[in-house]
Amino acid sequence: MKFSYVNPTQIHFGQGQIAAIATSIPQDQKVLVIYGGGSIKTNGVYDQVVAALSEHSWIEFSGVEPNPTVETLDKAVAIAKAEKIDYILAVGGGSVIDGSKYVAAAAKYVGNGWDILIGKHAVTEAIALGAILTLPATGSESNAGAVITQKATQTKLPFHSAAVQPKFAVLDPDSMKTLPERQLINGLVDAWVHTCEQYLTMPTGAMVQDGYAETLLRNLLTLASQYDNRDNNEWRSNLMWTANQALNGLIGTGVPHDWATHMIGHELTALYHVDHARSLSIIQPSLLRNQIEAKRAKLEQLGKNVFGLEASDDLAERTIVEIETFYHNLNSPTELTEHGDDKLSAIDSIIKQLEAHGMVALGENQAITLEVSRQILEDAVK
């Protein structure tokens, strides 16, 4: 283990905490409030933002879509530049927060913002950013990552920079009350896979990271089992905090990471508009079976410590079945069906995109070549 760790995002957690933005954003800052398709106007979040910013000078930009596109976000970049914005307040789910990170960075750059995604511009400077989270899933509210889509080329790419990490994040579980079931389930699944991507690799003896990852996985399992009784503050609070902790950097310190499920999943979203979390439940079981020998020890550890399974020669295999059952119980798919009826050409398209995006050696051992991705897809595409 060797690492430097800081998470500088101040968390305001709990009911009524949106009011905290009044003091978290300095009063002399000109604010751009960014949000999505308008869900915040149906659950009182927008009204609370307006009340909290009553002493600030602010304008707004709406219409950031799920899987935010650079085509839409560049309009906000132009506004941020023209209006000399000092502070961006992202209000929404992962898409709005990721999109706002892009706007914050691109507004400080003279070139084409897409350069950030293709690695042509390394972000070292950005407009200050704060977030109000309305959909627990991605962890974007307190991490330095963002995933942006270029609609024209069906390209979905991530970027990371400490400069875009939110200064603060408000996590008020009440804002989840209007979440459609599908999005709530997406949150459970995304947080599950985030934990797996940083845990299901190889044994490292990192007791803190492993132990905390297992706690988060057990939480998600428990919350899924209590799904029918989810309409209460305790359930919502536990999901919101668990999803945040799954991708705020802590469990990933000093240990190997995988992220292959995410990288292949991003192509399913870019090509077939599959929800992010659903792309993960489609790919992960097939990927785990494909990589079972490399991951056997950690799968066994997960089976024992999270699912409570007894030891056996096929413990790793049974653990994958349990993960699949977890997805099925939540009605999250484990096979791609959105590809039309030509399986072979769908797989070809996905492989072509992976190649174009340099995703040719994925996973903790860089063992997932295009040929291996093709095998994984063979089992995951119906």
Q: How many residues bind ligand NZQ (CB under 6 A)?
A: 33
Shortest distance in whole angstroms from residue 190 CB to ligand NZQ: 6
H helical segments located in 83-206:
94-106, 181-199
Shortest distance in whole angstroms from residue 312 CB to ligand NZQ: 33
CA-based nearest residue to 114, from 71, 60, 84, 167: 71
Question: Is residue 93 at the binding interface for ligand NZQ, with CB under 6 A as the rule?
Answer: yes
- Taking CB under 6 A as the rule, which mask of x and - marks residues 224-253 in contact with ligand NZQ? -----------------------x------
Query: Interior CA angle at 215 toward 213 and 219, to 5°?
Result: 115
Question: Is residue 338 at the binding interface for Zn ion, with CB under 5 A as the rule?
Answer: no
In the list 98, 190, 267, 364, the residue contacting Zn ion (rule: CB under 5 A) is 190
Question: Is residue 223 at the binding interface for ligand NZQ, with CB under 6 A as the rule?
Answer: no
Region of 216 please: left (phi>0), alpha (psi -120 to 50) or beta. Answer: alpha
Q: Which range binds ligand NZQ by CB under 6 A, 69-77, 140-148, 203-211, 290-298? A: 140-148
- Taking CB under 6 A as the rule, which mask of x and - marks residues 27-46 in contact with ligand NZQ? ---------xxxx---x---
| Pairing assessment for the beta strands 145-150 and 57-61 based on DSSP bridges | unpaired
179 binds, among Zn ion, ligand NZQ, none (CB under 5 to 8 A by kind): ligand NZQ
Q: Which range binds Zn ion by CB under 5 A, 15-23, 56-64, 189-197, 233-241? A: 189-197
Q: What does the block give as tokens for 332?
A: 């999250």
DSSP string for 277-291 = HHHHHHHHHHHHHHT
3-class secondary structure, 216:
helix
94 binds, among ligand NZQ, Zn ion, none (CB under 5 to 8 A by kind): ligand NZQ
**Cβ atoms within 10 Å of 154's Cβ, excluding its own:** 16
H helical segments located in 152-291:
181-199, 207-225, 233-246, 260-272, 276-290
Q: How far apart are CA 204 and CA 237, in angstroms?
A: 31
Shortest distance in whole angstroms from residue 150 CB to ligand NZQ: 13
In the list 12, 56, 121, 276, the residue contacting ligand NZQ (rule: CB under 6 A) is 276
Q: What does the block give as tokens for 314?
A: 């096929």
Question: Is residue 132 at the binding interface for ligand NZQ, with CB under 6 A as the rule?
Answer: no
| Closer of 94 and 252 to ligand NZQ (Cβ) | 94
| Pairing assessment for the beta strands 155-160 and 145-150 based on DSSP bridges | antiparallel
In the list 161, 183, 244, 284, the residue contacting ligand NZQ (rule: CB under 6 A) is 183
Do 245 and 208 contact (CB within 8 A), yes or no?
no
Q: How far apart are CA 161 and CA 109, in angstroms?
A: 14
Shortest distance in whole angstroms from residue 5 CB to ligand NZQ: 17
Question: Is residue 145 at the binding interface for ligand NZQ, with CB under 6 A as the rule?
Answer: yes
Q: How many residues bind Zn ion (CB under 5 A)?
A: 1
Amino acid present at 335 = E
Q: What does the block give as tokens for 24?
A: 């978290």
Radius of gyration of the chain (CA): 20
In the list 142, 155, 186, 290, the residue contacting ligand NZQ (rule: CB under 6 A) is 186
Positions in the binding site for ligand NZQ (CB under 6 A): 36-39, 43, 66-67, 92-96, 98, 134-135, 137-140, 143, 145-147, 175-176, 178-179, 183, 186, 190, 247, 262, 276
